[in-house]
Amino acid sequence: MAKEWILNSAMNRFQLNFKKNVGPTSESIRKCSPKNLEEWRDCYYAQVRPEEHIVELGKRLYVKITEVIQSEVAEVSEEDCIQYMKQLVIDRTYDGYVTEIQTVYGQLQHKLGVKIESALDEWDRLYNVDFFISVNQHYIGLQIKPITFGGGAPQLPKIFKEKSIQEETHKAFSEKFGGKVFYVYSAKTGEKKEICNPEVIGEIEAEIKRLS
C-alpha cells in the first residue's frame, strides 16, 4: 500500500500520467471498445503509444523517486516537521477562519452582531432554511441565495420562482419557531461575495428586536 502511494504521488507530481505522456486513454478505450484486457492492451500499443514508450516512462518514474524525491526527503529535518505541524494547526486554521468571516454568512453575522448557526439537515428539507438565529427561545430563518451563475448570467427568475414555492415551508417555520425567514441575496465581486440586498439587515434587526 505504501509503495503504491509513493508511485502514485510521484507519477502525478511529475505528470507522467498526463495526456501529453500517455495519450488520450479515456477517449482511446471508448474508440477501441475492447472485449477484454488483452484487446485493450494490443489496441493501446498499436494506436496510442508503443510499449517501449510506457517502459521509458516507468524508468523515468524510477529515477524521479530514487534520485529526486530521495534527495528531497534527506533534506527534511525534525525541525522542518515541527514547524510544518505548527503552520498546519495554527496558521492555516486561522487563514481558514478569516476566509470564512469574509463569506456572506460571516459578513451578515458581523453586521448583525449575533451568532448565526447552520440549520439542521431536517430544517433544510422541511423548511428550506440554511441558517438560523436564536432569539429568546425563538428562531429566525435565513436563506442565502446567489444571484448569478458562475459565468455571470443572472438567475433571478429562478430565485423568485423558488421563493414562491418555498413560501409555504417558510410559513410553517414561522408558525413553529416564531420568527420569520429572510432571503439574503449574494453576488461575487472579484474574489469576494457581497450581500446584494443590504436592506435585509435592518429587517432582520427589527425581527430580532420583536422577538427579544
pLDDT at 112 (0 to 100): 93
CA dihedral for 110, 114, 205, 187, sign (positive or negative)? positive
User: At residue 173, does pLDDT exceed 60?
Assistant: yes
User: At residue 172, does pLDDT exceed 90?
Assistant: yes
pLDDT at 106 (0 to 100): 84
pLDDT, one tens digit per residue, over 26-68 is 999 999 999 999 999 999 999 999 999 999 999 999 999 999 9
Question: Of 82-86, 121-125, 191-195, where does mean pLDDT reach its minimum?
Answer: 191-195
Q: Look over the chain and give the mean of its residue pLDDT values, rounded to a whole number.
A: 87
Over residues 161-170, the mean pLDDT reads: 78
pLDDT at 45 (0 to 100): 96
% of the chain at pLDDT higher than 70? 88
pLDDT at 125 (0 to 100): 86
| Exposed e or buried b per residue across 101-131, where buried means at least 16 C-beta atoms within 10 angstroms of its C-beta | eeebbbbbbeeeebebeebeeebeeebbbbb
User: At residue 149, does pLDDT exceed 60?
Assistant: no
In sequence order, what E strands does 23-148 have? 117-118, 131-135, 138-146
Amino acid making up residue 197:
N
**pTM for the structure as a whole:** 0.53
User: At residue 135, does pLDDT exceed 80?
Assistant: yes
CATH topology of domain 104-211: Trna Endonuclease; Chain: A, domain 1 (3.40.1350)
Pairing state between β 178-189 and 131-135: unpaired
Question: Of 21-30, 77-86, 91-100, where does mean pLDDT reach its minimum?
Answer: 91-100
Q: How far is CA 185 from the centre of its chain?
A: 20
191 phi and psi, to 5 degrees?
-100, 5
Over residues 189-212, the mean pLDDT reads: 88
Q: Where are the domains of the chain?
A: 2-75, 104-211
pLDDT at 159 (0 to 100): 57
